[in-house]
Amino acid sequence: MEKKEMQISPFLVFFNIHAVQVGVGVLGFQRVIMKSAGNDSWIVVLAAGIIVSFIIWLMYVLLNRHQKDIIEIHKDLFGKWIGGIISSIWIIYWLLIGIVTLRNYIEIVEVWMFPTINIYMFSLIFIILAYYCVTGGFRIVAGLSFLGVCIPFYLFFTFLFPIEFAHFRNLLPIWNHSIKEITFSTKDMILGYLGFSTLLMYYPNIKHPKKSQKWAQLGNLLTMVIYLFILIVTIGFFSEKQVSKQIWATLSLWKIVEMPFVERFEYIGITSWVLIILPNICFSVWASTKGIRKIFNLKSKKVVIVTLGILFCVTVAVQGRENIALLSKTMSYLGMCLIFIYMPLLTLLSFLLSKIRRGKFEKGT
């Protein structure tokens, strides 16, 4: 376990989990899941949230047994070299989360606000902010996630505006799609919840970590409620055909927000979203940095600089909607494999190996 001054209270896990789940995905998830499930997509959001809740429970089963982070668990189970290779895959995945989050956000700013924005300077500003936060230690990153949930939370109340023009009969008839369509859509929706796997790295940084599971589950529950609320408003406001043409349906909902002091609320929404995006990037960089430092025994600040350098180079190198979508898909499928296939197998293997070792110890005595 980490030193006490580097640990956080269990209730902050609520903000950590929620902050990394709500990123750029919430701005355009509707089109993806409604492609298969249509007006039944609200069922998909609930199903995906329940599955993620089960995976979080599974993570705690593994982490509570070992009382270590995923890097140390890999070393215990597979040895230094094989464990290091598997851990490196996780590090690449966390780094990809940061890259995809930043690149997608830049694309939104380009399309909706500033078409001629300098990507290099914009990315550099984020890199400097991330460096400042990550080098400050995990408590700073966790504090940022707290602010990233509380300050921009007012944005979700703006989705009450479209309700005036919504036709909620669009939700009917219920369950008019096949199980196959619902399953495919659930798989796509789960991608919107990804990011919570950083728990595998900061578990030792939690005081009384076993008590934090209820907060992690509540954080996931809040994410599910927000996704569900925005989706129901979207289904009521748009027709299925209209949603299929909206890449960022959530941003389109802001177009009808009318206030005396602002004409284009989506500008305020996108700007405020920085506070939601930054914790995502900081958590992914912090997890990657800690993993690299543990595997290769390197100094933290140098690793942070190299990690952020890679993030910057890849972000500015990826250009065009197709390449950005390809990068997002790569990250999503890698995450699916690691979290929903590898994670249950690792938990099962850990249980079997500990049982075998206990049996050998009992025979020896």
Whether the CB-CB separation of 221 and 22 falls below 8 Å is answered with no
314-318: long-range contacts (C-beta < 8 A, 24 or more apart)? 314/99, 315/99, 315/102, 315/103, 315/106, 315/119, 315/123, 316/119, 316/120, 316/123, 318/99, 318/103
Q: What residues have CB less than 8 Å from 96, skipping those under 6 apart?
A: 327, 330, 331, 334
State yes or no: cis peptide before 173, omega within 30 of 0: yes
pLDDT for res 2: 63
d(CA 280, CA 25): 12
Query: Three-state DSSP class for 117?
Result: coil
Q: Specify the pTM.
A: 0.92
Please name every residue paired with 24 in a beta bridge, in sequence order, or none if there are none: none
The pLDDT tens digits for 240-294 are: 888 888 888 888 888 888 777 777 788 888 888 999 999 999 999 999 999 999 9
Query: How high is the pLDDT of residue 279?
Result: 92
- 78-98 per-residue burial string, b: 16 or more CB within 10 A, e: under 16: beeeebbebbbebbebbbbbb
What is the rounded distance in angstroms from the CA atom of residue 216 to the CA atom of residue 254? 30
Q: Which residues of the chain have pLDDT under 50?
A: none
Domain ranges in the chain?
Answer: 4-348
Per DSSP, 239 falls in state -
Helix (H, G, I), strand (E, B) or coil at 242: helix
Token representation of residue 104: 């997608």
Q: What angle do CA 105, 127, 136 make, to 5 degrees?
A: 120
User: CA 134, CA 300: separation in Å to the nearest integer?
Assistant: 10
Q: For residue 128, what pLDDT is reported?
A: 93
What is the Cα–Cα distance from 71 to 90, expressed in whole angstroms? 9
Smallest CA-to-CA distance from 223 within 251, 246, 193 is with 193
Under 8 Å CB-to-CB from 4, ≥6 apart: which residues?
207
The radius of gyration computed from the CA coordinates of the chain, to the nearest angstrom, equals 21
Fold of 4-348: Amino acid/polyamine transporter I (1.20.1740)
- What integer pLDDT is reported at residue 255 of this predicted model? 85
Which DSSP helix (H) or strand (E) runs through 33? helix 29-37
Look at residue 364 in the predicted model and tell me its pLDDT.
61
